[in-house]
């Protein structure tokens, strides 16, 4: 069976969005989008943490234990996500711009796929190492135990394989997105 984390299924789309922003508005605007995304993620994480510390309403159909099980604050996963997000997205922006200049603004498919595949490899590796190996080995959270290396390799391989397939299948959507945005934004 293919083993993936929940974020691996939705997160790859953000690389396509950052590539669209880079293509249409340049690397500075794409970096701004990354920093705004990080700020929003931190706000959401802080909000969920605060809410989980508050007692549940007695008549609520969802008790405190269920809420914490679903929205539980797991620091290693948050730290792994945020570190991997920043480094991978900024790497994607840098590589996209470099390939764009190198190809003289031709071959959108090459810059989008190359920058995304390299950056998603970095993201997968960093998140997996921090969330599933390094953080649990620090012993700061009892909720998460370190994954055995054999399990870690399977999850990381499956996640990156999914991201490769997603990226390649998403290439037409990148072209459509650029076309529509340019057409829509014309005066």
- 100-111 pLDDT, tens digit per residue, is 999 999 999 999
Dist. CA 120–CA 126, nearest whole Å: 10
Using alpha carbons, list the distances in angstroms from residue 80 to 108, 132, 143, 149.
30, 9, 15, 17
Residue 142 pLDDT > 70 = no
Dist. CA 30–CA 22, nearest whole Å: 5
Is pTM beyond 0.95 here? Answer: no
For the chain, the 3-state helix, strand and coil shares in percent, each to the nearest 5, are 80, 0, 20
At residue 39, the pLDDT reads 95
The most confident of 24-38, 39-53, 61-75, by mean pLDDT: 24-38
């Amino acid at each position: 069976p293919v083993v993936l984390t929940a974020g691996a299924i939705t997160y790859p789309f953000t690389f396509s969005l950052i590539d669209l922003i880079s293509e249409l508005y340049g690397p500075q605007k794409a970096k701004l989008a990354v920093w705004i995304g990080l700020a929003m993620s931190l706000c959401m994480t802080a909000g969920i943490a605060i809410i989980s510390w508050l007692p549940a309403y007695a008549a609520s159909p969802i008790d405190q234990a269920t809420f914490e099980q679903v929205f539980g604050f797991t620091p290693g996963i948050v730290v792994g996500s945020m570190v991997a997000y920043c480094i991978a997205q900024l790497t994607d922006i840098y590589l996209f711009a470099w390939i764009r200049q190198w190809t003289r603004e031709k071959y959108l498919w090459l810059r989008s796929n190359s920058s995304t595949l390299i950056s998603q490899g970095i993201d997968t590796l960093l998140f997996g190492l921090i969330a599933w190996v390094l953080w649990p080995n620090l012993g700061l959270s009892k909720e998460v135990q370190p994954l055995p290396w054999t399990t870690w390799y399977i999850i990381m391989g499956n996640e990156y394989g999914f991201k490769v397939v997603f990226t390649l299948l998403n290439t037409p959507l990148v072209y459509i997105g650029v076309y529509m945005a340019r057409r829509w934004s014309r005066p």
